[in-house]
Structure 1
Amino acid sequence: MEITRLSPDDEAGCTEAVALKSAGLKLDCPEMLEPTARGFANMLRYGWDMEPEYAYLAREADGTAVGLLAVGVNTYDNTNQIWVDVDVHPDHRGRGVGSALIEYAEGFARELGRDTIGYGCIDLPKADAFARRHGFVQKAVEVNRRQDLTGLDYGVVQRLYDDAVAASTAYELTKLTGPLPEELLEDMVTLTASINDAPKDDLDMEDDVYSPERLRAYEEAQSRSDHTVYRVIAREKSTGALAGHTVISVERERPHIGEQHDTAVDRAHRGHRLGALVKSAMLLWLREAEPALTQVDTWNAESNNHMISINEQLNYRIIARILAYQKKL
Structure 2
Amino acid sequence: MTTTDTNAIVIAPFVPPSAPHGPDAAELHELVALDNAVCLSDSGGDHLRQTAEEMLPGWLDQTDRLRRGFIARRGGRLVGALLMGFAAETGSVAGEFDLLIEPGQWGQGIEDALLDVGEAEARALGRTSLQAWSLHPVAEDAEPYVPRTGWGRATRTDLARFLASRGYELEQVERNSGFDLRNSLEIATAAYARAEAAAGDDYRVVAWTLPTPAELRAGFAAILSRLATDVPSGDLVIDEEAWDEGRVLRREARLAAAGSLVSVAAVEHVPSGALVAYNELLIGEDRSGVTHQYGTLVAKEHRGHRLGMLVKAANLLRWRELAPQSPQVSTFNAEENRPMLDINEAIGFVPLSYAAAWQRALV
Match of 1:55 in 2: 69
The one-letter amino acid paired with 1:269 is H
The answer for unaligned runs of 5 or more in structure 2 is 1-8, 18-23, 136-153
Q: Distance in 1 between matches of 2:60 and 2:286?
A: 17
Match of 1:301 in 2: 334
The one-letter amino acid paired with 1:116 is S
User: Can you list the C-alpha shifts for 1:101-150, whole angstroms capped at 9, x where unaligned?
Assistant: 11010111122222221111124313322112111122111222222211
Tell me if the contact between 1:57 and 1:65 (Cα under 8 Å) persists in the aligned partners.
yes
Compared CA separation, residues 287 and 327, structure 1 to 2 (3 A): same
1:182 paired to 2:220: no
Compared CA separation, residues 213 and 268, structure 1 to 2 (3 A): same
The Cα of 1:52 is off from its aligned counterpart by 5.6
Match of 1:117 in 2: 130
Which of residues 142, 157, 162 in structure 1 aligns to 2:193? 162
The one-letter amino acid paired with 2:116 is E
Which of residues 243, 255, 280 in structure 2 aligns to 1:247? 280
Which of residues 216, 222, 225 in structure 1 aligns to 2:249? 216
1:100 paired to 2:113: yes
The Cα of 1:25 is off from its aligned counterpart by 3.3
Equivalent residues in 2 for 1:19-168, closer than 5 Å: 19-31=33-45, 32-46=47-61, 51=65, 53-60=67-74, 62-76=75-89, 79-122=92-135, 123-125=154-156, 126-151=158-183, 153-168=184-199
Q: Distance in 2 between matches of 1:254 and 1:53?
A: 28
The Cα of 1:155 is off from its aligned counterpart by 1.0
Compared CA separation, residues 86 and 107, structure 1 to 2 (3 A): same
The Cα of 1:95 is off from its aligned counterpart by 0.5
Q: SS of the counterpart of 1:173? A: strand
Q: SS of the counterpart of 1:53? A: strand
Match of 1:256 in 2: 289
1:281 paired to 2:314: yes
The Cα of 1:34 is off from its aligned counterpart by 2.1
The one-letter amino acid paired with 2:70 is Y
Match of 2:29 in 1: 15
The Cα of 1:78 is off from its aligned counterpart by 6.8
Q: Distance in 2 between matches of 1:114 and 1:251?
A: 33
Q: Distance in 2 between matches of 1:129 and 1:66?
A: 19
Could you say which structure has the higher helix fraction? 1
Q: SS of the counterpart of 1:162? A: helix
Tell me if the contact between 1:231 and 1:247 (Cα under 8 Å) persists in the aligned partners.
yes
Instruction: Figure out how many residues of one structure are paired with residues of the other and give that number.
Output: 326
Q: Distance in 2 between matches of 1:255 and 1:174?
A: 26
Q: Distance in 2 between matches of 1:319 and 1:93?
A: 25
Q: Distance in 1 between matches of 2:34 and 2:233?
A: 31
Tell me if the contact between 2:225 and 2:241 (Cα under 8 Å) persists in the aligned partners.
yes
User: Can you list the C-alpha shifts for 1:150-189, whole angstroms capped at 9, x where unaligned?
Assistant: 13x3111111011112112312221111232333233333
The Cα of 1:255 is off from its aligned counterpart by 4.2
The answer for unaligned runs of 5 or more in structure 1 is none
Q: Structure 1 length as normaliser, TM-score?
A: 0.91
The Cα of 1:280 is off from its aligned counterpart by 0.8
The Cα of 1:231 is off from its aligned counterpart by 1.1
Q: SS of the counterpart of 1:205? A: coil
The one-letter amino acid paired with 1:281 is A
Compared CA separation, residues 25 and 178, structure 1 to 2 (3 A): closer
The one-letter amino acid paired with 1:97 is I
Q: Distance in 2 between matches of 1:134 and 1:302?
A: 25
Compared CA separation, residues 262 and 78, structure 1 to 2 (3 A): farther
Higher mean alpha-carbon deviation, 10-19 vs 133-142, is at: 10-19
The one-letter amino acid paired with 1:51 is R
**How much identity, in percent, do the aligned residues show?**
29
The Cα of 1:76 is off from its aligned counterpart by 3.5
Q: Distance in 2 between matches of 1:78 and 1:17?
A: 31
Q: Distance in 1 between matches of 2:186 and 2:61?
A: 39
1:319 paired to 2:347: no
Compared CA separation, residues 27 and 250, structure 1 to 2 (3 A): closer
